[in-house]
Amino acid sequence: MKRSSSKNATADFGTRDVDAYIKAAPKEARAKLLQLRKLVKTTVPSADEGISYRIPYYNYYGALVWFAVFKNHIGIYLRPPVIEEHKHDLRGYETTKSAVHFPMNKPLPTRLIRKLIKARIAKNKTTLNAT
């Protein structure tokens, strides 16, 4: 799929917490960012929340997921190989090795996002148990 440029990023708000990040986002993106945050927190209630790479980040047995708002999409970022392993589910979305771009003008696919997060949790736990 076509990769999008970060030139249109609106995510560099220089914030230090997720509340401030969401508050600084464009008004039309805030509801989706809050929805995504709630989805992560309900999927993994004990995940640590913070800012990493200037965007919201969640840690649970290691790096779990990041998300960011851009002009035309919201990106979620998961360490490989989760995106590759779910490429059949991600048809129709722009993807990279570690990102999925969800268009701003469409509803967030919450079941799909939850599935990706759970896959990353399993990878994190497997990696932790292997060490």
Domain boundaries, the chain: 6-130
Tokens of 115: 């599935």
Other beta carbons within 10 Å of 109: 16
Q: Regarding the domain delimited by 6-130, which CATH topology (the fold level of the hierarchy) does it fall under?
A: Aspartate Aminotransferase, domain 1 (3.90.1150)
* Axis crossing angle, helix 110-130 with helix 27-43, rounded to the nearest 10: 50
Residues 85-131 have pLDDT tens digits of: 999 999 999 999 999 999 999 999 999 999 999 999 999 999 878 76
If you count them, how many residues does the chain have? 131
- Quote the pTM value: 0.87
